[in-house]
């Protein structure tokens, strides 16, 4: 997996990715962090999320997909996968990771089925700071499941 420092929205607008995957909760709340940036740049991201039922626990491990058309930039097709990897962003008080790693695997398999091998996929390795994440474990999972894809972890510039 390649790691870059930058802004995932800027990189996506510049045609660096065929798809972006970001983790989100089941409450249709994309008001913070990378999700908010994606929504501001690509309103279809919020539309795809709003088409799901807020608070539905059965969304965990699934994705909604925003189809983005950036023809004016010479990019024919671009997708943003809203990966429902956690129920909420609220602290659980246990000091444990609230992202469900089984749900990440399920979401990655969904993305893998939707994209051709070799597709350029950007992963946000930053968030609003509301969710504790084990990025080493997540990176290993991405490398394992998404072998054969051009995986790029984007660490947000500060």
The structural domains of the chain, with segments of one domain joined by +, span 2-156
pLDDT tens string, the chain, 158 residues long: the values are: 999 999 999 999 888 999 999 988 899 999 888 899 999 999 999 999 999 999 999 999 999 999 998 776 566 678 999 999 888 765 444 444 456 778 889 999 999 999 999 999 999 866 534 345 577 788 889 999 999 999 999 987 75
- Per-residue confidence (pLDDT) for residue 158, from 0 to 100: 58
- The dihedral through the CA atoms of 100, 24, 4, 13 has a sign that is positive
2-156 in CATH: which number?
3.40.220.10
Contacts of 95 (CB under 8 A, 6+ apart): 132
| pTM for the predicted model, two decimal places | 0.88
For 95, counting Cβ atoms within 10 Å of its Cβ (0-12 exposed, 13-18 middle, 19+ buried), the class is exposed
């Amino acid at each position: 997996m390649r790691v870059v420092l930058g802004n995932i929205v800027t990189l996506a607008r510049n045609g660096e990715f065929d798809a972006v995957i970001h983790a989100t909760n089941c409450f249709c709340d994309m008001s913070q962090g990378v999700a908010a940036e994606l929504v501001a740049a690509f309103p279809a991201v919020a539309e795809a999320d709003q088409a799901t039922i807020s608070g539905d626990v059965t969304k965990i491990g699934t994705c909604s997909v925003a189809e983005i058309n950036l023809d004016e930039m010479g990019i024919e097709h671009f997708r943003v996968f809203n990966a429902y990897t956690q129920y909420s962003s609220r602290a659980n008080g246990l000091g444990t990771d609230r992202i469900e790693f089984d749900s990440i695997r399920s979401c990655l398999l969904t993305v893998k089925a939707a994209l051709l091998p070799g597709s350029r996929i950007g992963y946000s390795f930053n968030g609003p700071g509301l969710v504790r994440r084990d990025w080493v474990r997540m990176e290993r999972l991405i490398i394992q499941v998404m072998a054969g894809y051009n995986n790029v972890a984007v660490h947000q510039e500060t």
